[in-house]
Structure 1
Amino acid sequence: MDNGYGDNFLYGPCHGLGMIEVEPPWMEVSSDYALMENMTFNVDTFVYVRHEFGLRFENGVRITRDGIEKFSSRFMDIIELDV
Protein backbone atom coordinates (compact mmCIF):
# COMPACT_ATOMS: atom_id res chain seq x y z
CA MET A 1 0.00 0.00 0.00
CA ASP A 2 2.98 2.28 0.52
CA ASN A 3 3.66 1.98 -3.22
CA GLY A 4 0.40 3.61 -4.32
CA TYR A 5 -1.84 0.52 -4.56
CA GLY A 6 -3.93 1.13 -1.41
CA ASP A 7 -7.16 1.72 -3.37
CA ASN A 8 -6.74 -1.61 -5.19
CA PHE A 9 -6.67 -4.03 -2.24
CA LEU A 10 -9.95 -5.95 -2.09
CA TYR A 11 -9.74 -7.58 1.35
CA GLY A 12 -7.57 -8.00 4.39
CA PRO A 13 -4.08 -9.45 4.43
CA CYS A 14 -5.02 -12.85 5.91
CA HIS A 15 -7.94 -15.25 5.65
CA GLY A 16 -8.95 -18.69 6.86
CA LEU A 17 -7.74 -21.82 5.09
CA GLY A 18 -10.04 -24.81 4.89
CA MET A 19 -12.74 -26.01 2.52
CA ILE A 20 -12.87 -23.13 0.01
CA GLU A 21 -10.40 -20.71 -1.56
CA VAL A 22 -11.10 -17.70 0.65
CA GLU A 23 -13.07 -18.14 3.86
CA PRO A 24 -13.48 -16.57 7.30
CA PRO A 25 -11.96 -15.58 9.54
CA TRP A 26 -10.47 -12.53 7.85
CA MET A 27 -7.60 -11.11 9.86
CA GLU A 28 -7.47 -7.34 9.72
CA VAL A 29 -6.58 -4.46 12.02
CA SER A 30 -10.16 -4.50 13.38
CA SER A 31 -10.21 -8.27 14.17
CA ASP A 32 -10.86 -9.05 17.82
CA TYR A 33 -10.41 -12.82 18.19
CA ALA A 34 -7.48 -14.92 19.35
CA LEU A 35 -5.66 -17.29 17.02
CA MET A 36 -5.50 -20.72 18.62
CA GLU A 37 -3.02 -23.58 18.20
CA ASN A 38 -3.58 -25.62 15.00
CA MET A 39 -5.66 -22.92 13.28
CA THR A 40 -4.60 -22.44 9.66
CA PHE A 41 -4.73 -19.34 7.50
CA ASN A 42 -3.26 -17.81 4.36
CA VAL A 43 -1.21 -14.65 4.30
CA ASP A 44 -2.18 -12.86 1.07
CA THR A 45 -0.41 -10.34 -1.05
CA PHE A 46 -3.19 -9.34 -3.42
CA VAL A 47 -3.43 -6.39 -5.79
CA TYR A 48 -6.09 -5.83 -8.44
CA VAL A 49 -6.08 -2.83 -10.74
CA ARG A 50 -9.45 -2.77 -12.51
CA HIS A 51 -9.24 -3.59 -16.22
CA GLU A 52 -5.44 -3.76 -16.06
CA PHE A 53 -4.12 -6.67 -13.99
CA GLY A 54 -4.39 -8.75 -10.85
CA LEU A 55 -1.69 -10.40 -8.79
CA ARG A 56 -1.92 -12.71 -5.77
CA PHE A 57 0.63 -14.58 -3.69
CA GLU A 58 -0.58 -16.73 -0.80
CA ASN A 59 1.45 -18.39 1.93
CA GLY A 60 -0.16 -20.97 4.21
CA VAL A 61 0.48 -20.94 7.95
CA ARG A 62 -0.45 -23.10 10.95
CA ILE A 63 -0.48 -21.65 14.46
CA THR A 64 1.76 -23.67 16.80
CA ARG A 65 2.31 -23.50 20.54
CA ASP A 66 5.52 -21.51 19.96
CA GLY A 67 4.61 -19.44 16.88
CA ILE A 68 3.87 -20.57 13.32
CA GLU A 69 4.63 -23.37 10.88
CA LYS A 70 5.09 -22.11 7.32
CA PHE A 71 3.60 -24.25 4.53
CA SER A 72 5.76 -22.59 1.86
CA SER A 73 9.50 -22.21 1.46
CA ARG A 74 8.86 -18.77 -0.11
CA PHE A 75 7.80 -16.68 2.79
CA MET A 76 7.87 -13.17 4.09
CA ASP A 77 7.99 -12.13 7.72
CA ILE A 78 4.86 -12.11 9.87
CA ILE A 79 4.71 -9.29 12.38
CA GLU A 80 2.69 -10.07 15.51
CA LEU A 81 0.74 -7.09 16.82
CA ASP A 82 -0.10 -6.54 20.47
CA VAL A 83 -3.69 -5.27 20.50
Structure 2
Amino acid sequence: MCTLCIFSYTYPWCFLFLFFSLVLLLVGDFLLVVLFYFILFSFFFFFKLFFFSYILFFYSFIIISTYYFIIICLWLWTCFPLCP
Protein backbone atom coordinates (compact mmCIF):
# COMPACT_ATOMS: atom_id res chain seq x y z
CA MET A 1 0.00 0.00 0.00
CA CYS A 2 2.63 2.47 1.05
CA THR A 3 4.96 2.05 -1.91
CA LEU A 4 2.77 4.51 -3.78
CA CYS A 5 3.58 7.13 -1.17
CA ILE A 6 7.29 6.64 -1.87
CA PHE A 7 6.69 7.40 -5.55
CA SER A 8 4.85 10.60 -4.64
CA TYR A 9 7.48 11.65 -2.08
CA THR A 10 8.73 14.60 -4.07
CA TYR A 11 5.29 15.98 -4.86
CA PRO A 12 3.36 18.33 -2.57
CA TRP A 13 0.04 16.49 -3.03
CA CYS A 14 1.18 13.40 -1.11
CA PHE A 15 -1.30 14.17 1.65
CA LEU A 16 -4.22 14.39 -0.78
CA PHE A 17 -3.08 11.25 -2.57
CA LEU A 18 -3.00 9.29 0.69
CA PHE A 19 -6.30 10.72 1.86
CA PHE A 20 -8.21 9.81 -1.30
CA SER A 21 -6.60 6.38 -1.56
CA LEU A 22 -7.54 5.72 2.06
CA VAL A 23 -11.12 6.81 1.38
CA LEU A 24 -11.32 4.52 -1.65
CA LEU A 25 -9.94 1.63 0.39
CA LEU A 26 -12.44 2.14 3.20
CA VAL A 27 -15.39 2.59 0.84
CA GLY A 28 -14.49 -0.58 -1.07
CA ASP A 29 -14.09 -2.61 2.11
CA PHE A 30 -17.29 -1.18 3.53
CA LEU A 31 -19.28 -2.10 0.42
CA LEU A 32 -17.95 -5.67 0.49
CA VAL A 33 -18.76 -6.03 4.19
CA VAL A 34 -22.23 -4.53 3.78
CA LEU A 35 -23.06 -6.89 0.91
CA PHE A 36 -21.77 -9.89 2.88
CA TYR A 37 -23.76 -9.05 6.01
CA PHE A 38 -26.84 -8.14 3.99
CA ILE A 39 -26.84 -11.67 2.58
CA LEU A 40 -26.43 -13.15 6.07
CA PHE A 41 -29.16 -10.95 7.56
CA SER A 42 -31.51 -11.92 4.74
CA PHE A 43 -30.80 -15.58 5.45
CA PHE A 44 -31.44 -15.18 9.18
CA PHE A 45 -34.63 -13.17 8.72
CA PHE A 46 -35.94 -15.58 6.10
CA PHE A 47 -35.61 -18.51 8.50
CA LYS A 48 -36.89 -16.46 11.48
CA LEU A 49 -33.58 -16.60 13.34
CA PHE A 50 -33.88 -13.12 14.83
CA PHE A 51 -31.71 -13.85 17.87
CA PHE A 52 -28.75 -14.80 15.68
CA SER A 53 -29.20 -11.72 13.55
CA TYR A 54 -28.95 -9.44 16.60
CA ILE A 55 -25.82 -11.25 17.80
CA LEU A 56 -24.32 -11.03 14.31
CA PHE A 57 -25.07 -7.31 14.11
CA PHE A 58 -23.49 -6.59 17.50
CA TYR A 59 -20.31 -8.56 16.88
CA SER A 60 -19.98 -7.40 13.29
CA PHE A 61 -20.15 -3.78 14.44
CA ILE A 62 -17.33 -4.38 16.93
CA ILE A 63 -15.22 -6.32 14.43
CA ILE A 64 -15.71 -3.83 11.58
CA SER A 65 -14.95 -0.78 13.73
CA THR A 66 -11.81 -2.45 15.12
CA TYR A 67 -10.76 -3.45 11.60
CA TYR A 68 -11.08 0.10 10.28
CA PHE A 69 -9.29 1.53 13.30
CA ILE A 70 -6.34 -0.81 12.76
CA ILE A 71 -6.21 -0.03 9.02
CA ILE A 72 -6.25 3.72 9.64
CA CYS A 73 -3.58 3.51 12.36
CA LEU A 74 -1.29 1.36 10.23
CA TRP A 75 -1.78 3.60 7.22
CA LEU A 76 -1.00 6.77 9.15
CA TRP A 77 1.92 5.21 11.00
CA THR A 78 3.66 3.85 7.90
CA CYS A 79 2.79 6.35 5.17
CA PHE A 80 2.70 9.81 6.63
CA PRO A 81 6.33 9.89 7.86
CA LEU A 82 7.32 9.30 4.22
CA CYS A 83 5.54 12.42 3.04
CA PRO A 84 7.39 15.73 2.82
State TM-score, norm by structure 1.
0.20
Structure with bigger gyration radius: 2
Of Structure 1 and Structure 2, which has the larger fraction of its residues in helix?
Answer: 2
Of Structure 1 and Structure 2, which has the larger fraction of its residues in strand?
Answer: 1
